[in-house]
Structure 1
């Protein structure tokens, strides 16, 4: 009697631990050689419970990696102008090497204006237009953390995007759009889809690599996964539910990320790694 084969899980948590361990070693080297500790400043507007929890988790990971974590908490009533000035001040602070603006910041905040107040060399979250442009043209800069983590996961599992058809479901400025550009840079043929795509399922069925990043629970059904495809679920919805119907998709995919434990841990790991890289550059150190 034959058994139904299921997809291999892509262990983002395990890979993230190794990325953080490497970042920790590099952070210690930075401190030894310069006397300075790599520093990540996180700006939090208001007290949204999910954001507060996420920031607390990031600060704990920083501490374990030997990275200084500076928290700047601002009241919910902070204006865009006040937030911009805070970010510009941190950009001028030589003791800060990376800046993270925890978002969402509230409907009254112009987040794009706030992001653009972050100096490109300190944009370790990869959210500025400068970072997106550099990434798109293959120039030095920082990738958006979640897309960067997705690419590391693909490399870890020997998935070469070259010549593959990658379908990205989602078009956000910090996830969908940049991950498509990173895949394109690796010679994938990229199709962007979104909530208004006509017959989304038909496009997904053609994908060798599916990146789900639209924020709709179980939008991608297992029956629409091409047999043997690689499925990256970058969605996170209440109840630890991704954008892919995991139970059915794993019956057809070759590789699949779980939610949680897949893409999420890689996001924070890349953030820490890029903070250490930023410190190394700003302090004039060359890794030997």
Structure 2
């Protein structure tokens, strides 16, 4: 019995019809998408409030700011942040980072899944109540003493024991430390356990300026008492979250954030462009376990 030769002309016509119908459907869907964007609120504001702030929490190695919505649609909503690497030296120029939420609430942010580089390593060493370690503290002293004290630094200050807000305010007053955009609070260290789900979670690093898209531009920091305002704003933001929010793109979790907000203690500080001389003084405080430098640079504006 001979197999029949396929009717290639019929196959070709069928393929053309399928392609034509597919193209027509895509065009129709695109037109509907554009029309619905005019009449339906796709809630760019919630993307900014929840996911843009989550990106800042999970990526303290970047200075992320100036977010804006690119327009919503039936398929997805895109929100763009401007940012640059958090380094001690001159600005390296801004980069765009996109956060995309699709129709089903799934979020993609491939460049904002957590910190990288030396600052990520320094944050990764922070632990819950690690205690005093004189050897580690002395090593940090020798490192800083071996460098010009006028250098600017990006660093992590790790506490020997977790700090309540009251203790941290007292610490600030003792060292005349003023809160601001150059001080962020580590409310939870990073986490890794391959037997759990999720296996890893980023540290919760918070600065009141991380909600700057939703607050007035003339934000006034409160110097020594800034930890009080920072914790209040962190708790307010966590209160905006729903358990169904997809925070996996940032390696964060609703329960992880809610627990950190409820506990409200600080395990360390991320400090931005502090002088080495000021960091060196902190090492004489028994509440400071160590200072880990992530980057140092001369302030060229002071040269000359």
TM-score under structure 2 normalisation? 0.31
Which protein has greater RCO, CA pairs closer than 8 Å, 6+ apart? Answer: 2
Q: Comparing both structures, which one devotes a greater share of its residues to strand?
A: 2
